[in-house]
Amino acid sequence: MDKTQYTNLAKAWEYTEEHALEREIPSVAATRDNAEQAGLPQGSAAQAQLLTMLAHMIDASSVIVIGTGSLVESVQLVHALNGGGQLTAVDSTAQGIAMIRKVFAELQDVTDTSLRAVNAPARVFLPRLNANDYDMIVVAGDADNYASTFAQAARLLRTHGVIVFTDVLALGSDHGGVLDAADRSTKATAMRELITMVEDDETFESTLTPDGTGLLIAVKK
């Protein structure tokens, strides 16, 4: 591609993100504002809406969300569960779990979805869960969350279940993230290793997309 095409791609990303922000429902928009005021930056609006679409496509009823302060994604997925099912939120920070519980309490009048909120590292909690019991797993946050969650994904997911890794391009890095081969920061290095690990795993079909700050989507065969 030439320079003009790359410029148009950047403009397309910006347009898509602004469009998604305009379409955010009030509960999601309020969650985003409150989280960011509390010092918990939230992910891309377009990314959160894509997660909702994926949940609808597989008719998900049981979803796990892993990562520090993934509040917008959690609220979007509650709505994607259409008032039923269960959302399991796993966060290693007490602040993140407290905010998820608070946000969920505010949704109780509009949903019967049940919440299981767990303040623990993913590598500690996930091995305790039942096998073949989940439709979708969404991973965000610290680099440690990614490989430890993928290690459990084949066991936890039902056939055709989906695991989505967000921020897989590590664009929050001060050194360029995965896009810059010279970036050897913890997150960028972990994401490069994760991409190879997932793509080489014959249990899953996977694709890497530039949505948000990079999504790696894998479907259990």
CATH number at residue 185: 3.40.50.150
The model's pTM: 0.94
Reference 146, options 47, 84, 86, 66; nearest CA is 66
Asked whether the CA dihedral 87, 96, 117, 172 is positive or negative, the reply is: positive
Expressed as residue numbers, the domain containing 111 is 3-220
Reported as half-sphere exposure (CB side, CA atoms, 13 A), residue 70 has a value of: 31
Question: For every one of its 221 residues, what pLDDT tens digit does the chain have, with 9 covering 90 and above?
Answer: 777 887 888 899 999 999 999 999 999 999 999 888 888 888 899 999 999 999 999 999 999 999 867 889 999 999 999 889 999 999 988 888 888 899 888 888 888 999 999 999 999 999 999 999 999 999 998 899 999 999 999 999 999 999 999 999 998 777 789 999 999 999 999 999 999 999 999 999 999 999 989 999 999 99
Query: Three-state SS for 159?
Result: strand
- Within the chain, where are the H helices? 3-23, 26-37, 45-57, 71-80, 94-106, 122-125, 143-156, 186-200
**How many angstroms separate the CA atoms of 105 and 150, rounded?**
30
Classify residue 66 as exposed, middle or buried by CB count within 10 Å of its CB (0-12, 13-18, 19+).
buried
**How many angstroms separate the CA atoms of 77 and 70, rounded?**
11
Interacting residues of 160 by C-beta distance below 8 A, sequence separation 6+: 58, 219, 220, 221
| Total tally of structural domains belonging to the chain | 1
